[in-house]
Copies of this chain bind each other. A is one copy, B any other.
Amino acid sequence: MQQIDAIIRNALAEDIHTGDITTQALQLKSGVISGILKAKENMIVCGLAVAERVFSILDNEVKFTHCCADGDLVFAGNVIAKISGNASSLLQGERVALNLLQRMSGVATLTSKYVQAVKGTKVRIVDTRKTTPGLRILEKYAVRVGGGSNHRTGLYDGVLIKENHIAAAGGISAAVSRAKSYIPHTLKIEIETQSLTDVTEAITAGADIIMLDNMDIETMKDAVAIISGRSLVEASGGVNLSTVKAIAETGVDIISVGALTHSAPAMDISMLLEGA
């Protein structure tokens, strides 16, 4: 895919630029060596095809064998992939491949924790636009691998009318009505609400999705009752691993979590070459 290749080429250029001066200086003998990618903590692995692509862009004779699949739970010490090829290709691709794999696995792993936390409810855990600039497509993929779902990709493929839009547009009804007449018929309209009054106005205006912004648990329950299935309901704000279950139990359909992508710690993975 062109977008992912562009991310990888950019990352390789950033790291290698005019050349890997260490490897050049050492004039390493060419010849195939082997190695492994190994998990150093438990994780939901994600990004194997991306890591593989890093090496194939550098040198299409590198062999990269998957020892598990995206979405698998792997344990500290497990081998994630085997790799073999020219030493200088492996050394040049190592850091970029791991940086991507560690980050994507971090997002998938954190997402899976949220998904586990709401197990037994009907809630979808979804991401936000609080992604790493330049890596959104990979992070949104990692959210799906971790068992979550995606919110809109960007400003261009979904309508989300927020507080300041409402203010500028002169209220919820006016905003929803204008949006309906403008947008492609293939898109739904989501609107942010701050109060039960807002919720009532939104449902009357015909919003397809109602976001409950930073409401407390009781207010969310009331909102769900008011809406009563006439639109989807999304909870947003103040979500963390200790609050998510209670939020899910209010009856909302969707919970969006910025932390999935903006604060997932990288998983620890290393590449070990034979003889080293």
Contact = CB atoms under 8 A, between A and B. Distances in A.
Nearest to A15: B154
B19 A133 contact: no
B185 A187 contact: no
Given A22-B179, A136-B14, A185-B151, A130 B28 contact: no
A99 interface: yes
Interface of A: 1-3, 7-29, 33, 87, 91-92, 95-96, 98-100, 102-103, 106, 124, 126, 129-137, 140, 149-169, 175, 178-179, 182-188, 190, 209, 232, 234, 253-254, 259, 262-263, 265-266, 273, 275-276
A187 B21 contact: yes
Given A157-B186, A159-B21, A169-B28, A131 B3 contact: no
Contacts of A27: 178, 182
A149 B21 CA distance: 13
A15 B262 contact: no
22 contacts: A16-B156, A18-B140, A20-B155, A21-B156, A22-B155, A23-B155, A23-B165, A25-B159, A26-B165, A26-B178, A99-B130, A103-B133, A103-B262, A133-B134, A134-B134, A151-B185, A151-B186, A157-B186, A167-B273, A185-B234, A186-B188, A262-B265
A1 B88 CA distance: 12
Given A95-B130, A135-B134, A276 B167 contact: yes
A40 to B, nearest CB: 11
A143 to B, nearest CB: 11
Contact of A91 (B11, B22, B165): B165
B275 A167 contact: yes
B14 A1 contact: no
A19 to B, nearest CB: 6
